[in-house]
Amino acid sequence: MTTSPTIVPLIDISGLQYRYPGARADALADLDLQIGKGEFVAVVGANGSGKSTLARLAGGLDKPGAAQRALACGHDLLTEAGRLAARRDVGVLFQNPENQLVAQCVEDDVAFGLENLGWAAPEIRRRVDEMLARFLLEDLRLREPHLLSGGQKQRTALAGVLAIPRRALVLDEPTAMLDPAGRREVQVAVADLHAEGLAIVYVTQEMDEVVAADRVIALERGTEVYSGSPSGLFADTALVRRLRLGLPAAGELALALGERGRGPARLPLTMDELLAHLEGSA
């Protein structure tokens, strides 16, 4: 399921270091990260392992402490000009949609970034219409943001981020505050964007969401300790424990079956895979 290797990664970072003002330890230390064009990479790790810091730096929102190389879509994140350019190409969506909606109604919110970039009004209208259709927000275009459900808010924020044409999208726990239906809406939108070739960096604490990624990166105290397939990560149960992660629900049950001598040879990660094992061994 991994994408074919690309010659120039879209995000190309090596030796990245960052420390928050006044903190005693680095939030990121000697971190390497390469994200290929069109790749869907999940980022996992315990609370405080550096996931959100990485998301902000990759999006050009904060200045790296140091790095041998820190390029996002070809822009040098070590320079102010590079970060500004990176912010144009890399969209960032955060956990709490409340903090990301600024306008009085949905369509104004989606238009906000384009207005700041000085797009002409007819172009803005066309682009906003396109985004509203794309994220199923047409019926809600005049709705005030505070009257939206959590999933609708997050889709509005996503439409605003992607109204500006992007080359990569960084999402920092975008479903954490949503109900399961809202979560599903965002997951489907992200899967569609990935299918269309947008590079996705997806920070999450939900192990079931990791399964959809091409590749998963695990962070521990600001450094990368795993990069590979989701199934490879989950198969290493000692590492999963140490990193304070978990398994998808299907894997959790398979492990419990294994303790009773009924475990599958290969760890199932979805309900369908688990059912196939249970029905096969019945």
Which of the residues 225 through 254 are near another protein (CB under 8 A)? Answer: 241, 243-246, 249-250, 252-253
* Candidate residues 173, 209, 224, 273; the one interacting with another protein per rule CB under 8 A: 173
Let me know if 12 is exposed, middle or buried by CB neighbors in 10 A (0-12, 13-18, 19+): middle
Does 116 bind another protein (CB under 8 A)? Our answer is: no
What is the rounded CA–CA span in Å between residue 40 and residue 270?
18
Does 150 bind another protein (CB under 8 A)? Our answer is: yes
The distance of closest approach from Cβ of residue 101 to another protein in the complex, given in angstroms and rounded to an integer, is 14
Does 207 bind another protein (CB under 8 A)? Our answer is: yes
The distance of closest approach from Cβ of residue 253 to another protein in the complex, given in angstroms and rounded to an integer, is 5
Does 176 bind another protein (CB under 8 A)? Our answer is: yes
Which of the residues 251 through 270 are near another protein (CB under 8 A)? Answer: 252-253, 255-257, 259-262
Contact 80, 26 (CB under 8 A): no
Contact 72, 90 (CB under 8 A): yes
Q: Which is nearer to another protein, 34 or 175 (CB)?
A: 175
Contact 148, 106 (CB under 8 A): yes
Does 95 bind another protein (CB under 8 A)? Our answer is: yes
Q: Where on the phi/psi map is residue 266: left (φ > 0), alpha (ψ -120 to 50), or beta?
A: beta
Does 144 bind another protein (CB under 8 A)? Our answer is: no
Alpha helices in the chain (DSSP H): 51-58, 80-89, 106-116, 121-134, 150-163, 180-195, 207-210, 230-235, 237-242, 249-259, 271-280
What is the rounded CA–CA span in Å between residue 32 and residue 20?
19
* Candidate residues 66, 103, 177, 239; the one interacting with another protein per rule CB under 8 A: 177
The distance of closest approach from Cβ of residue 182 to another protein in the complex, given in angstroms and rounded to an integer, is 7
Q: Interface with another protein by CB under 8 A: which range of 9-17, 129-137, 177-185, 226-234?
A: 177-185
Contact 36, 10 (CB under 8 A): yes
Let me know if 272 is exposed, middle or buried by CB neighbors in 10 A (0-12, 13-18, 19+): exposed
Does 6 bind another protein (CB under 8 A)? Our answer is: no
Q: Which is nearer to another protein, 114 or 213 (CB)?
A: 213
What is the rounded CA–CA span in Å between residue 148 and residue 107?
13
What is the rounded CA–CA span in Å between residue 63 and residue 18?
8
Q: Which is nearer to another protein, 136 or 278 (CB)?
A: 278
Does 61 bind another protein (CB under 8 A)? Our answer is: no
For 161-194, give one letter per residue: b (16+ CB within 10 A) or e: bbbbebbbbbbbbbbebbeeebbebbbebbeebb
* Candidate residues 149, 227, 231, 237; the one interacting with another protein per rule CB under 8 A: 149
Q: Which x/- pattern, by CB under 8 A, does the window 31-60 give for another protein?
A: --------------xxxx------------
Q: Interface with another protein by CB under 8 A: which range of 5-13, 86-94, 129-137, 144-152?
A: 144-152
**How many beta carbons lie within 10 A of that of residue 246, not counting itself?**
16
The residue ranges that bind another protein (CB under 8 A) are 24, 45-48, 95, 149-151, 173, 176-182, 205, 207, 241, 243-246, 249-250, 252-253, 255-257, 259-262, 271, 274-275, 278
